[in-house]
Amino acid sequence: MALLIRSRPRSMAQSRLTASAFYYPPDRSISKPERLRKWFYAVLRAGFWHVNSTLACQIQDRMELVAVEENSRTLPSSIFFDFNDNSISFGRAALSRYVDGAEGRLMRSLKSVLGSSLMEETTRIKTRVYTFKEIIGLILGRLKAAADAATGADVAHVVLGRPVHFVDDNPEADRNARDALEEIARAQGFRKVAFQYEPIAAALAYEQSVTREEFG
């Protein structure tokens, strides 16, 4: 199975199209009906969940955006560590705890960490020391749990959308960002991790919407 996560959707319709475009390449080791039932998708845009994340799952013969936070199909890229009860909240719940004045630490928009030296750094949150990889992994793990719940299965494969360059004009840092993201995904239980360039995903999504030949 594979998970598809997309960040910062312009619209739900666009998210659905983009997600469906990531059904490439198909797994030929299983039949088409089985692929349609079991494969799931995630598109990661502009880094790592810069603003919001959405999750699309292939259920039977339909691509569906599924709830990732209560009944909402978007999850703000926020995580809150509560110092009172040691709980961890995500998305709107994290923002709400922070706004309500709960004692703790709010972290948002962790995309800038990918490809930077901070990936190897640690930060202390109350009595525990976390790596930034672990914190990013908590968010990815939250999305994986949503996929598992929506499908009633253990999502083992993931296709992550990625920008053409995580880091501009620095091939080594760009490669490190990709490798770090793959490592994070595997740490969350994904056994097979693949990437798709977002411009290609956008082209595939547009191709699905075209009903006649166009020139321009």
Q: Could you tell me if residue 100 is inside a domain?
A: no
Q: pLDDT by residue (tens digit) across 145-157?
A: 988 888 888 888 8
- Whether residue 179 is predicted with pLDDT greater than 90 in this model: the reply is yes
* Mean pLDDT comparison of 37-41, 131-135, 143-147, 193-197, highest-scoring range: 131-135
Full domain range(s) for residue 28: 2-74+132-209
Q: Write the CB contacts of 200 (distance below 8 Å, at least 6 apart in sequence).
A: none
Residue type, 3: L
Q: pLDDT by residue (tens digit) across 19-37?
A: 333 333 334 444 444 433 3
Q: What span, in angstroms and rounded, lies between the C-alpha atoms of 211 and 35?
A: 25
What is the phi-psi region of residue 88: left when phi exceeds 0, alpha when psi lies from -120 to 50, beta otherwise? beta
Q: How many CB atoms lie within 10 A of CB 27?
A: 15
Q: Could you tell me if residue 113 is inside a domain?
A: no
Q: What span, in angstroms and rounded, lies between the C-alpha atoms of 170 and 165?
A: 9
Q: Could you tell me if residue 178 is inside a domain?
A: yes
Q: Could you tell me if residue 6 is inside a domain?
A: yes
- Whether residue 129 is predicted with pLDDT greater than 90 in this model: the reply is yes
pTM of the model: 0.74
Residue type, 69: E
Q: Could you tell me if residue 80 is inside a domain?
A: no
- Whether residue 105 is predicted with pLDDT greater than 80 in this model: the reply is yes
CB-facing half-sphere around the CA of 20: CA atoms within 13 A: 17
CATH number at residue 51: 3.30.420
What is the phi-psi region of residue 44: left when phi exceeds 0, alpha when psi lies from -120 to 50, beta otherwise? beta
Number of domains observed in the structure of the chain: 1
Residue type, 185: A
Q: Could you tell me if residue 87 is inside a domain?
A: no
pLDDT at 186: 94
Q: Could you tell me if residue 104 is inside a domain?
A: no
Tell me the Cα Rg of the chain.
18
Q: What span, in angstroms and rounded, lies between the C-alpha atoms of 40 and 205?
A: 16
Lookup result for tokens 């990625």:
162
pLDDT band at 51 (very low <50, low <70, confident <90, very high): confident
Q: Could you tell me if residue 204 is inside a domain?
A: yes
